[in-house]
């Protein structure tokens, strides 16, 4: 039986997806919520952008496109979740404009930061539209979502390897996005057992996320052993 039975009028899946498929997919998106909140709180308290700027712009555009422009086949409940995630991401986007320029040392990029962010937003919109219009994406946007996550996971790992102070990177964000994407990966292997490309993307993201989580915890633990106060 699908996660939506006609007799029960459940809003999530309209018999298209099973209960377990819906659980892993929707649960994965909900598990991302602490990461969004943490990024916003860090920007408010510390006046800096915790998430890599390029990944932040791609993420908000993906959620806008799939929340307000494209149709998906899991039902209005998921549409509401997509749109809610987009609204949360708009708070992050405000801080991309405010503090994203601090992530680079290049004077030219700092001077034209607002223009650069605007161009990236337009470019990501074109990219996600073209991917779907060409028939390369899946009904829930899974291919483009994993491409977005691959970018984000790679950039976070790069920040871990290059930033001298690991306390600038949030463990809450690392665990939240790792678990959230991991739950969606379970859905992918259940729903698309023969789709080698999206499975490959999912595995790559999982490896990057796990490496990042372990690496960040190890570096933060070493900082704590040096008796340096660790930021929550």
Encode pLDDT of 128-144 as tens digits: 999 999 999 999 999 99
The span from the CA of 178 to the CA of 175, in Å, is: 5
> Which pTM does this prediction carry?
0.88
Determine if residue 94 is left, alpha or beta; phi over 0 gives left, psi from -120 to 50 gives alpha, anything else beta.
alpha
Residue 17 predicted with pLDDT over 70: yes
Residues 6+ away with beta carbon under 8 Å from 84: none
Residue 84 predicted with pLDDT over 70: yes
Encode pLDDT of 91-116 as tens digits: 999 999 999 888 888 887 778 899 99
Encode pLDDT of 135-186 as tens digits: 999 999 999 999 999 999 999 999 999 988 898 999 999 999 999 999 999 9
3-state secondary structure 200-228: HHHHHHHHHHHHHHHHHHHHHHHHHHCCC
Domain range list for the chain: 19-225
The pLDDT of residue 107 = 81
Read off the pLDDT of each residue in 192-220 and give the average, rounded to a whole number.
Answer: 96
The pLDDT of residue 8 = 42
Residue 4 predicted with pLDDT over 50: no
> How much of the chain, in percent, has pLDDT values that exceed 90?
73
**Percentages (nearest 5) of helix, strand, coil residues in the chain:** 75, 0, 25
Residue 14 predicted with pLDDT over 60: no
CA dist list (Å): 60 to 93, 105, 204: 7, 24, 22
Between residues 167 and 118, the one the model is more confident about? 118
Residue 13 predicted with pLDDT over 70: no
Alpha helices by DSSP H, listed for 47-112, are 53-64, 76-99, 107-111
């Amino acid at each position: 039986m699908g996660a939506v039975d006609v007799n029960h009028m459940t809003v999530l899946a309209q018999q298209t997806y099973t209960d377990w498929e819906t659980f892993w997919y929707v649960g994965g998106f909900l598990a991302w919520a602490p990461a969004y909140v943490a990024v916003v709180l860090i920007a408010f308290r510390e006046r800096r952008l915790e998430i890599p700027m390029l990944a932040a712009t791609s993420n908000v555009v993906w959620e806008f496109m799939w929340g307000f422009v494209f149709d998906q086949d899991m039902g209005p409940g998921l549409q509401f979740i997509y749109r809610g995630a987009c609204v949360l991401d708009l708070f992050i986007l405000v801080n991309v404009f405010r503090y994203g320029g601090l992530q680079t040392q290049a004077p030219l990029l700092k001077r034209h930061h607002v223009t650069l962010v605007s161009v990236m937003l337009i470019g990501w919109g074109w990219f996600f539209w073209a991917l779907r219009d060409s028939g390369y994406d899946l009904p829930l946007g899974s291919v483009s979502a994993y491409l977005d996550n691959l970018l984000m996971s790679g950039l976070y790992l790069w920040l871990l390897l290059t930033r001298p102070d690991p306390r600038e990177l949030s463990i809450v964000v690392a665990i939240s996005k790792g678990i959230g994407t991991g739950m969606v990966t379970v859905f992918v292997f259940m729903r698309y057992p023969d789709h080698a490309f999206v499975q490959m993307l999912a595995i790559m993201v999982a490896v990057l996320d796990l490496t990042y989580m372990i690496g960040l915890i190890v570096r933060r633990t070493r900082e704590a052993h040096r008796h340096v106060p660790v930021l929550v």
